[in-house]
Amino acid sequence: MSAPRPGLAEVAVTWVLYGLVAAATTLTYARVPVEELYHVSESGAAGGFGRALVFINFPTALAAIAVLPVVLDRLLATSRNRLLQGVFGAVAALAVVLCLTTAFPGVVDQADLDAKPVNAVPALGVAIALAFTVLAARRGGLGRPARRDGWDRWRALLAAVLAVASLPWIWAELGFYISGAPLLGDVFLAAEPRPEPGDPGLRAVHLGRHHGFDGALLAVTAILLSRVIRDVRGRRLRRALALAVAALLVYGLLNAAQDFWLEQVVKRGSTDERLPSFLRPGLTWAWACMVAAAVAVYAFGTRRLERVR
């Protein structure tokens, strides 16, 4: 008997990755004084779990949207009950809407990253996506990883570049400055004071979460799930996954690049030129260029996918 399609190995790796980061966020924000963190006011266990909830809103909710087409396709393929298929589809659509609320003003505010009651809304969408993943895995297991193709080398190379660029953020995520690490401390800025208006004690790389690391996580999510696109049977779900992968890849890379440039180039004094912010949606040239890039990636990917299929 052939392994069920699509395989869920890449989806499982995605969930494990976000779970590990959520655990690190909880522990770091619970033990590090708020003065050394960024725009939070709660400490201890409440601060740790609260910041983890905000992390589930952003970026986890965006990653969950990309996961849903894969697990929904498995659920539809393993269910012959039309009514049940309709329920699966409706609940998945609801989960997407819930996850998208993370982009609404006031849900995740960079100036105030303490948890708020509204953060439960995107978290519910993430919970549905995770529950769908567990249910899909119970209907045939994880299956096999996606087949290797000629793009896997480029995927691995891009993931490696993101991992190296994320080293200061990974250290900060764990509650440490990379400045104290042998060799790496000579390469990256971190603990060096770089005060800004309103943040006189700010370091080059503050402890805790960074939106550049969030961008790197989203880009890695896109890299993982791009391997599964051709195995999704439903045409609409396959196109939805391709669109989500393209959007996460471009959005993630640009946010990672913007934060890295600011912290490791501008704050080093090499230049005063800053990259525009891509973090929040807006009627700006930066967002127009980002959307155009995502559409181009989607168009290129879907043409190549249809030729392969």
Examine residue 148 and state whether it is found in any structural domain, yes or no: yes
Examine residue 3 and state whether it is found in any structural domain, yes or no: no
Examine residue 262 and state whether it is found in any structural domain, yes or no: yes
Half-sphere exposure of 147 (CA within 13 A, CB side): 9
pLDDT digits (tens, 9 = 90+) for 53-107: 999 999 999 999 999 999 999 999 888 899 999 999 999 999 999 999 999 999 9
Examine residue 4 and state whether it is found in any structural domain, yes or no: no
**The pLDDT of residue 195:** 82
pLDDT at 306 over 80: no
Mean pLDDT for the chain overall: 93
Average pLDDT over residues 281-286: 92
Examine residue 1 and state whether it is found in any structural domain, yes or no: no
pLDDT digits (tens, 9 = 90+) for 131-163: 999 999 998 888 878 888 888 999 999 999 999
Examine residue 36 and state whether it is found in any structural domain, yes or no: yes
What does the alpha-carbon distance between residue 95 and residue 30 come to, in Å, rounded to a whole number? 29
Of residues 5 and 164, the one with the higher pLDDT is 164
pLDDT digits (tens, 9 = 90+) for 194-230: 887 777 778 999 999 999 999 999 999 999 999 999 9
What does the alpha-carbon distance between residue 138 and residue 78 come to, in Å, rounded to a whole number? 10
For CA atoms 265, 266, 269, 272, the dihedral sign is: positive
Average pLDDT over residues 19-37: 96
Examine residue 32 and state whether it is found in any structural domain, yes or no: yes
Domain count, the chain: 1
The share of the chain scoring above pLDDT 70, in percent, equals 97
Tell me the whole-structure pTM to 2 decimals: 0.95
Examine residue 217 and state whether it is found in any structural domain, yes or no: yes
The label of the residue with tokens 């849900």 reads 107
**The pLDDT of residue 1:** 44
Average pLDDT over residues 271-282: 93
**The pLDDT of residue 23:** 98
**The pLDDT of residue 301:** 83
pLDDT at 309 over 70: no
Range of the domain at 64: 9-308
**The pLDDT of residue 264:** 96
